[in-house]
Amino acid sequence: MQDTNGMTAAHTASAPIEADAGKQGDVVSTHVLVGEDQVEALRELSRRTRVAQSEYLREAVEDLLSKYRAVLEAKR
């Protein structure tokens, strides 16, 4: 699905959750708009490496949170 800015809507329908998804507790579905070029690159990376796209996305979120950990801790 594309919006008027050429972004692709990435969302999760009801589907089985991978075994490792719940390592950090409860798992919640979220919805993001991602550029079509990024979606295609992620699909290709996933296909070539046989690593689920969702695993790469969880890794990216963890990397982002690690990057901004000081900001998160300062607001406590």
The domain locations on the chain are: 52-76
Taking 70 as the threshold, does the pLDDT of residue 5 lie above it?
A: no
Stated pTM of the model: 0.65
Taking 90 as the threshold, does the pLDDT of residue 65 lie above it?
A: yes
CA 58/CA 26 separation, integer angstroms: 13
CB 33 within 8 A of CB 9: yes
pLDDT in tens, 7-63: 655 544 434 455 555 566 788 999 999 999 999 999 999 999 999 999 999 999 999
Q: How many CA atoms lie within 13 A of 48 on its CB side?
A: 6
Tokens (6 digits) for 2:
């594309």
CB 38 within 8 A of CB 60: no
